[in-house]
């Protein structure tokens, strides 16, 4: 299978850097998947980037400069994970083709890691784009604010735009508009699921239903 897996920064990166305990459980799963699949992995920035942002936001920097700082920090995460998995680091959209595998993160201002992962899924014609996050899927409303929020088992491409969110680095919602546009345009089957237990990925790919399917 051809897979793109986005690892949410909320799961993997704490305020001081990578979460060692989480990666100790994630890496064996990714290495297992890498044996028989074409795999691109995207990693977010998490609390570390938000902490850095807060530290420099009052200095005389433009929004674009702030985004470039975030991208450079994301590239550190990409290097870190690519070294652990012995995979290529991907830093530009142009270097990707249908045979690409590796680790991707920030590319350029105006593009989230979700958007870059969705783009990669389109380039390799992925069977699935899987987003690992800290909630169980996509809900009809914010489950952190509303106790009666209901998880959606399936969302059609036509209705996905309803769940788009605007945001700045570190503040994207379920999926941002550019990621959604890419998913819809390329009809990329996408699964948004809870990634707290990385072994759930293996069960998912063996046919067990989890998260929210977008198709």
Average pLDDT over residues 1-20: 93
Residue 24 in tokens = 């100790």
Residue 14's CATH number: 3.40.1160.10
Q: Find out whether 132 and 3 touch, Cβ atoms under 8 Å.
A: no
Looking at the chain, the whole-number percentage of residues with pLDDT higher than 70 is 95
Residue 45 confidence (pLDDT) above 50:
yes
Question: Which residue blocks in 86-112 are alpha helix, DSSP H?
Answer: none
Quick one: pLDDT at residue 165? 62
Residue with the bigger pLDDT between 176 and 93: it is 93
Please give the full DSSP string across 112-165, using - where no structure is assigned: -HHHHHHHHHHHTT-SEEEEEESSSSEESS-TTT-TT--EESEE-HHHHGGGEE
Query: Total structural domains in the chain?
Result: 1
Q: Find out whether 88 and 82 touch, Cβ atoms under 8 Å.
A: yes
Quick one: pLDDT at residue 167? 46
- Nearest Cα residue to 192 out of 143, 146, 145: 143
pTM of the model: 0.91
Structural domain containing residue 112: 2-214
Q: Find out whether 209 and 147 touch, Cβ atoms under 8 Å.
A: no
- Nearest Cα residue to 132 out of 18, 34, 30, 28: 30
Question: Rounded mean pLDDT of the chain?
Answer: 90
What are the tens digits of pLDDT across the range 128-173?
999 999 889 988 887 778 889 889 999 999 888 877 765 444 443 5
Average pLDDT over residues 173-197: 91
* Bridge-based pairing state of the strands 175-176 and 164-165: parallel
């Amino acid at each position: 299978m051809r897979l793109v897996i986005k690892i949410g920064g909320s799961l993997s990166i704490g305020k001081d850097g990578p979460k060692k305990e989480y990666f100790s459980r994630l890496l064996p799963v990714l290495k297992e998947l890498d044996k028989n699949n074409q795999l691109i992995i995207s990693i977010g920035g998490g609390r570390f980037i938000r902490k850095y942002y807060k530290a420099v936001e009052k200095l005389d920097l433009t929004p674009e400069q702030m985004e470039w700082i975030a991208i450079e920090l994301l590239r550190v995460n990409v290097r870190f994970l690519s070294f652990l998995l012995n995979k290529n680091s991907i830093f530009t959209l142009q270097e990707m083709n249908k045979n690409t595998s590796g680790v991707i993160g920030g590319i350029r201002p105006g593009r989230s890691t979700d958007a870059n992962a969705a783009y990669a899924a389109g380039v390799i014609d992925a069977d699935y784009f899987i987003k690992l996050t800290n909630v169980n899927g996509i809900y009809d409303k914010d489950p952190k604010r509303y106790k009666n929020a209901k998880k959606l088992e399936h969302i059609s491409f036509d209705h996905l735009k309803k769940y788009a969110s605007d945001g700045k680095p570190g503040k994207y919602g379920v999926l941002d508009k550019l990621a959604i546009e890419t998913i819809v345009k390329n009809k990329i089957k996408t699964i948004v699921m809870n990634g707290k237990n990385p072994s759930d990925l293996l069960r998912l790919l063996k046919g067990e239903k989890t998260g929210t399917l977008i198709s």
